[in-house]
Structure 1
Amino acid sequence: MEIKEKLTLPKLIEEAQLFCVEQSKFQHKELFGVTDGKAVGTLIEQKFQKYLQDKYEVTIGSSANGIDLPSADILTDIKVTSIKQPQSSCPFKDAKQKIFGLSYNLLVFVYDKSDDENTRTATLNFVSCSFVSKERTADYTTTFRLREMVKDNANEADIIAYLQDKNIPADEITLLKLSELILQTPPEQGYLTISNALQWRLQYQRIVALIDDIPGISKIVSYNKPK
């Protein structure tokens, strides 16, 4: 029995790129005419998980625990979304996630789907793939503004007022604790857009369009990658 190499984050990023190139040439009979993004996403997630399992020693999460690659050294959730509206949902744990990030990394595959009437197959052209380290998974605008406020010597009352103004889903005690934490350790700049809902709605447009090199974000495949 061959001993498989242990999956590492650099290898995960390398394999995601190879997977995108390989899958972009592939004709999917089972996805022809399918408009349900969830069905497409589930198929690609499962394909990528199998692709990793065939090559590496890797822990695959169950849908119950929520994270696709849950081992402590990888701790990455796979998201697959259409370029038409690059977004997905994720479980709401607490309001802190919007400010301090999701506490796990994201691997975001973005595809452009086209159907071929002649062959009755669908092609998924992967136009973007990004690895977003957990430090960068908070909400862009919220963290940007809070970082500015801390620099401008805001106090707890200012921070609470801002969080209330933004309808951060938390009670007064939680908001007070959050404001103390923000002043002690200002959040890193996040790059997602996170909308409040029963589940967080994660939007990736900013990451897809990103041209600058940002520490903690690897643009694996990009149609606007700087030359």
Structure 2
Amino acid sequence: MSKPILTINKLIEEAKQFCKIQSKENHIELLGVTDGKAVGTYIEHKFQNYLDEKYTMEIGSSAKGIDLPSKDINTDIKVTSVKQPQSSCPYRDSKQKIFGLGYNLLVFVYNKKDSAGRCELDFEYCTFVPNERTADFTTTKMIRDIIKADGNEEDIISYFYNINLPGDEITYTQIAERIMENTPKQGYLTISNALQWRLQYKRVITLNNSVEGIVNFEKDELDE
């Protein structure tokens, strides 16, 4: 019997179920592990295997860059501790900060608790962020305010200089022209300039389903 094809709606629902199941297990392999990257890799692989047992789907590789790369899913899995909900992702170009990363995000936020012979992973938040909402909150808010105030390309380019957006004058002009043609949606990540983007999730994981497209589950729902 063939497995059903994974869809975005099924992905979101399965993420919620996965959190419920994993919150009750003893993750003995992680007992004493303090490396957040190791914990994240463990959870990512466990979730991918969980999906793979139930659905027909494409699993990504480091070469493809994101965890679930098929065109209809196009989603990267991010796992982060509730103590500092952030991670990094490859820097492609400056437009990502304004128009989105180019893919959706599924963010698992855990609280790891070790005791004698037991390691618990309490999932505090689970959030799906569609690509069009993965831009930087402050940058998109300021751009949208400039547009509302009847600003022009020069105003937008001036703003880019003020925030040291990575790029040169040609890059700024190209982005500003695109913005004037198509105002970007409000983003909800905090993206810091670096050789890799630093993504911070505190705002997006606590939206409580108040923004269209962003799906939030919090601890009380994940413990049911």
TM-score by length of 1: 0.95
Distance of 2:177 and 2:194 partners within structure 1: 24
1:13 has 2:12 as partner = yes
Q: Report the AA paired with residue 34 of structure 2.
A: T
Give the TM-score taking structure 2 as reference length: 0.96
Alignment of 1:179-190 (within 5 A): 179-190=176-187
> 2:131 maps to which residue?
134
Work out the percentage of aligned pairs sharing the same amino acid. 60
**Unaligned stretches of 5+ residues in structure 2:** none
Given that 2:209 and 2:215 are in contact with CA atoms closer than 8 Å, whether structure 1 keeps it comes out as no
What displacement does 1:224 show? 7.7
Is this contact kept in 1: 2:123–2:219, CA < 8 A? no
Distance 2:153 2:6 in 1: 43
Equivalent pair of 2:112/2:120 in contact (CA under 8 Å): yes
Contact between 2:75 and 2:106, CA under 8 Å: does it hold in 1? Answer: yes
Aligned pairs for 1:13-92 within 5 A: 13-92=12-91
Amino acid at match of 1:165: N
Aligned to 1:157: 154
Which residue number in structure 2 is paired with residue 198 of structure 1? 195
How big is the shift at 1:153? Answer: 1.0
Is contact 1:144-1:189 (8 Å) kept?
Answer: yes
Which residue number corresponds to residue 141 of structure 2? 144
Please tell me the residue identity of whatever aligns with 1:180.
E
CA 1:217 to 1:164, structure 2 compared with 1: closer, same or farther past 3 Å?
same
The letter of the residue matching 2:111 is D
AA at the equivalent of 2:65: G
Is the contact between residue 209 and residue 224 of structure 1 (CA under 8 Å) also seen in structure 2?
Answer: no
Deviations 1:177-221 (A, max 9, x none): 1111111111100000000000000000001221352111011x2
Cα displacement string for residues 111-137 of structure 1 (whole angstroms, at most 9, x for unaligned residues): 011101x22x21110010000001100
Secondary structure at 2:72 match in 1: coil
Structure 1: any 5+ residue segments left out of the alignment?
A: none
AA aligned opposite 2:166 = P
Give the equivalent residue in structure 2 for 1:222.
Answer: 218
